[in-house]
Amino acid sequence: MQASATNYEAIEYYRERFGIRRAVLPRVLSLAQVEHTIAHTQCEIEVFGYGSLCVMVEGRCALSAFATGESPNCQGVCSPAKAVRWEPLPDGMRTRLNGFLIDEFHGDERPGYPTLCKGRFAVDGATYYALEEPTSLNTLDLLPDLLRIGVAAIKIEGRQRSPAYVAQVTRVWRDAIDRCAATPQAWRPAPAAHAELDRLSEGQSQTLGAYSRPWR
C-alpha cells in the first residue's frame, strides 16, 4: 500500500514512528522544494526521474479507485490490467477501463494504456485531454542538480513495461549518473543518451514536470 508524504514533517513522522529509511517524493514538487525537503529530513530521498508523468499526487489520487475499486493507495495497482479492454476498430482502437471509454485512436495514432487521467473527454463540446496531456517525464538535464542537492536515488518508472525497455532505460541512466558524479561541473547529457530516451518515451513530447516551474 502506498502512503503519501509531500513534505518533511510527514516524512519525519513516518521515520519516527515506523523507522522508514527512504521516502519517494511525489512528482508534484519543484526542484527547490525537493532540495528544501532533503535539507530538513534525516531520511534518504528518492525522486521520479524518467517515465510516464503522473500529475496526480502519488498515494492520494482517487481516479483509479473510482473507476475500478483498486488503486495503489488502497489495494492493487493503478488501472489494473484486468480492468483494461482494447477494442479494435476498422481503423484504430478503443480503450476502456472497467467499461469506461477512456480514449479512441485512429490511423497512425499510437494507442496508450488507459488510465483515467490520460483519457480524452468531451468537455463543453470539445473532446481533448481534459486532465493531462500524455507527456513523458525526463529529468536527464537536471541530473547535476539532483546529485548536488543529495537525491539518494532516481526512480525509473517501469510498471507495465517490457524487460527490454527497463534494461535500455536503466543502462542509459546508470551511465549518465556515473559520468555526472565523476565530473559534475563538466557533465552535459550525451546527445546519444537523449536520442535513446526519446525513442523509448511514450512517443509524445517530454517534460521536466513540476521540477521546473518557469511560470512561477
> Does the protein bind another protein through residue 130 (CB under 8 A)?
no
Our CB check for another protein shows the closer of 122 and 182 to be 122
Size of the site for another protein (CB under 8 A): 38
* Chain centre distance of CA 127: 24
| Whether the Cβ atoms of residue 51 and residue 182 lie closer than 8 Å to each other | no
Which range of residues in 4-12, 130-138, 163-171, 189-197 is near another protein by CB under 8 A? 4-12
Closest CA to 54 of 159, 169, 177: 159
Give residues 42-81 in contact with another protein (rule: CB under 8 A).
57, 59-60, 62, 65-69, 71, 73-75
- Find the shortest distance in angstroms from Cβ 188 to another protein: 30
Residue ranges with strand state E in the chain: 22-24, 44-52, 84-89, 92-97, 100-106, 121-123, 126-128, 136-138, 153-156, 206-207
> Nearest distance from residue 57's CB to another protein, in Å?
6
Beta carbon of residue 7, minimum distance to another protein (angstroms, whole number): 5
